Structures are given as C-alpha cells and as structure tokens.
Structure 1
C-alpha cells in the first residue's frame, strides 16, 4: 500500500513540473503565432483587388 502513496506523490510532482513548464512557455511567448500575419500580408492585395470574389469552402461530409 505504501507503493501507491509513493507513485501518487511522484505523479503529482511530475504533473506540477509539466504545468510549470507550460506556464513558463506561455509567458515567454513560445506559442505566439508569428507565421500567420506574414502569410496574411501576402494575400491581402488579392482580396483588395477583387472584393466581390468569394472564397468557397466546402464542408466535409461526415461518414
């Protein structure tokens, strides 16, 4: 029974470690999206030239 207490303690320590690493990564900007604004800038002129052009998106049929 004492092994369960040790395993629970170790798993909580590991979970807290991963939570701390995730919070640190978010605060330092690891998950900031730097790619999308640059790509959006490339296609901005096409949308301004043809404002009536509608981009159709097809929905996938569920099986």
Structure 2
C-alpha cells in the first residue's frame, strides 16, 4: 500500500516538472510564431544563396 503513496507523489513531481517546463516555454516566446514553421519547407532558400553569391561577385568586380 505504501508504493501507491510513493507513485502518487512521484507522478505529482513529474507533472509539476512538465508544468514548469510549459510555463518556461511560454515565457521565453517558444509559441510566438506558430504559423511560419508549418510552411517553412515551402519557401525557396536558394534565392537567398544566389543573391549573396551575386553580391560577392559584384563587390569583387567593383574592387578591381
């Protein structure tokens, strides 16, 4: 019968830990933007890389 008391206390400690982690995540802004991560894979990242490489080429030609 004593094991039930131990398990109840242990489950309450684990639940309090998860609740504390949830409040920490909310307070630090983990859930501020919930729309963008779901569509991030649809964005094309190659355009950014191409723009950066073309800017470097332009800067090299301007320096010469």
Q: TM-score, normalised on structure 2?
A: 0.52
Q: Which runs of 5+ in 1 are unaligned?
A: 37-63
Q: TM-score, normalised on structure 1?
A: 0.53
Residue 43 of structure 1 corresponds to which residue in structure 2?
none
Residue 9 of structure 2 corresponds to which residue in structure 1?
9
Deviation at 1:3, TM superposition (A): 0.2
Residue by residue, what CA displacement relative to the aligned partner does 1:2-57 show, whole Å, maximum 9, x if unpaired?
Answer: 00000000000000000000000000000111628xxxxxxxxxxxxxxxxxxxxx
Measured in 2, the distance between the counterparts of 1:10 and 1:31 equals: 28
Q: Which has the higher helix share?
A: 2
Larger Rg: 2
Q: Which runs of 5+ in 2 are unaligned?
A: 38-64
Alignment of 1:4-43 (within 5 A): 4-33=4-33, 35=36
Measured in 1, the distance between the counterparts of 2:31 and 2:10 equals: 28
